[in-house]
Amino acid sequence: MKRTLLACLLAPLLLLAACGEQGRELVVGTYKNEETIVFSETSVQDEADINRFIEIVESSPATEAEMEGLPDYVVTINNPAESTMEWMVNIWEDEAGTIQFTRGLAGEDVFEMSPDDSEEVRDLLQLEK
């Protein structure tokens, strides 16, 4: 009897705890003006896709290019459970579709993705060409 009562009391608590767990999410935004970024209402929550994005960003080589103007896209990887932003990447696309980017809020170093990685990231983030 005590076990049944204990199980009945703990089951809803375990369900609530499980429902509250959130993994990381990758969100894409665009600048509305110099001070405002509007983020998409949808996010990428598949951990494999998030890790692939990070892998591409980390493996992209630096370039001597200097970026001008606001980025075409801002990508953040957030951890809602810990109320933290883990990553921020500012993305510019050139006319050939190659992605160049900076890392972090005030990143000055510019990196460039290969054409294949640019296409993969564009698909992963569902960016328009």
- Secondary structure (H, E, C), 12-28: HHHHHHHHHCCCCEEEE
Q: Write the single-letter amino acid at 59.
A: S
- From CA 18, how far away is CA 55, in angstroms rounded? 29
The structural domains of the chain, with segments of one domain joined by +, span 22-125
pTM of structure:
0.79
Range 22-125 has CATH code 2.60.40? yes
Q: What is the pLDDT of residues 27-83, one digit of tens each?
A: 999 999 999 999 999 999 999 999 999 999 999 999 999 999 999 999 999 999 999
Tokens 């009391």, located at residue:
9
- The confidence score (pLDDT) of residue 129 equals 65
